[in-house]
């Protein structure tokens, strides 16, 4: 039960809880930091489990439960706050934000049901990507008055919420990275995505997280189907 991979998973859950507390206290910056830390912990738990041959059914369930909090509930609360400030007269609209939480739970439940299957790609947008996308949106709030009229327009932002919700439970093939593959073959897209995000980081700050997620999705859409089959070989 108390294995090293599960320790990393527990850190994911802890950081998610810290992000939620930071958000409720109005500290957006620390909320973003904790979400990024949660994403790193989520990345490491699976990697460590495979390296130590410590994969377990308990670990799969614990990982998904932690992800629901860190990358389902926290993004839902971020989106709720933004929609609430944008729609003060329409108090029911912000509750659409929790479609993120619900769809994240559905996606993770689907993952758990098919946990024994090994696919060379993600089916639908991974929930950590959704969490990082809204962490980036939170980081841009109040910093770009010229762009806020578009980015945080009630209907545009609500569209982003619904789009991310749908992407999580979609059958879209999303690029998946494997540590066991060679760098240039398996990680060749990371420098492209990272560079595309970092180029704008000095101007958009945490918004680079949102940009990175968008680039990831766009690249996945542009790649031909045979690329995903070749990844598996």
Enclosing domain of residue 53: 4-231
Is the pLDDT score of 229 beyond 80?
Answer: no
Query: What mean pLDDT is reported for the chain?
Result: 84
| Confidence grade of residue 184 (pLDDT, cut at 50, 70, 90) | very low
Other C-beta atoms closer than 10 Å to the C-beta of 135 total 28
| Confidence grade of residue 187 (pLDDT, cut at 50, 70, 90) | very low
Q: Which residue has the tokens 């629901």?
A: 68
Q: Are 104 and 168 in contact (CB under 8 A)?
A: yes
Q: Domain total for the chain?
A: 1
CA distances from 125 to 8, 105, 166, 169, 178 (A): 22, 13, 9, 7, 16
Could you give the 3-state DSSP secondary structure of residue 122? strand
| Confidence grade of residue 215 (pLDDT, cut at 50, 70, 90) | confident
| Confidence grade of residue 20 (pLDDT, cut at 50, 70, 90) | very high
This prediction's pTM: 0.87
The span from the CA of 124 to the CA of 107, in Å, is 8
Q: Minimum mean pLDDT among 43-57, 130-144, 169-183: which range?
A: 169-183
- Provide the CATH number for the domain around residue 78: 1.20.120
Two tokens at 27? 């500290």
Residues 6+ apart with CB under 8 A from 148: 140, 141, 142
Tell me which of 105 and 114 has the higher pLDDT. Answer: 105
Is the pLDDT score of 192 beyond 60?
Answer: no
Q: For residue range 152-182, list pLDDT tens digits in order.
A: 888 899 999 999 999 999 999 888 765 555 4
Residues 6+ apart with CB under 8 A from 162: 96, 99
Mean per-residue pLDDT for 173-192? 58
Two tokens at 71? 């990358």
Is the pLDDT score of 132 beyond 80?
Answer: yes
Count of residues for the chain? 233
CA distances from 104 to 7, 68, 160, 222 (A): 22, 6, 15, 24
| Confidence grade of residue 107 (pLDDT, cut at 50, 70, 90) | very high
Q: Are 220 and 174 in contact (CB under 8 A)?
A: yes
Element at 174 (helix H, strand E): strand 173-175
Other C-beta atoms closer than 10 Å to the C-beta of 24 total 11
């Amino acid at each position: 039960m108390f294995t090293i991979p599960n320790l990393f998973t527990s850190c994911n859950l802890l950081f998610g809880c810290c992000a939620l507390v930071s958000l409720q206290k109005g500290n957006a910056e620390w909320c973003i930091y904790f979400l990024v830390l949660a994403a790193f912990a989520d990345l490491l738990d699976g990697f460590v489990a495979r390296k130590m041959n410590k994969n377990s059914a308990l670990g799969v369930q614990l990982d998904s439960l932690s992800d629901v909090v860190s990358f389902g509930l926290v993004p839902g609360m971020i989106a709720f706050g933004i929609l609430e400030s944008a729609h003060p007269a329409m108090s029911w609209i912000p509750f659409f934000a929790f479609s993120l939480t619900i769809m994240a739970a559905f996606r993770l439940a689907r993952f758990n049901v098919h946990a024994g299957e090994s696919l060379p790609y993600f089916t639908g947008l991974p929930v950590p990507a959704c969490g990082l996308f809204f962490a980036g949106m939170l980081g841009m709030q109040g910093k770009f008055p010229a762009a806020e009229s578009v980015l945080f327009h009630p209907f545009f932002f609500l569209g982003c919420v619904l789009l991310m919700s749908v992407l999580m439970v979609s059958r879209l093939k999303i690029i998946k990275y494997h540590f066991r593959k060679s760098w240039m073959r398996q990680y060749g897209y990371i420098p492209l995505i990272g560079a595309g995000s970092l180029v704008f980081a000095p101007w958009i700050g945490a918004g680079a997280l949102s940009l990175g997620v968008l680039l990831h999705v766009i690249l996945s859409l542009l790649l031909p189907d045979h690329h995903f089959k070749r990844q598996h070989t």
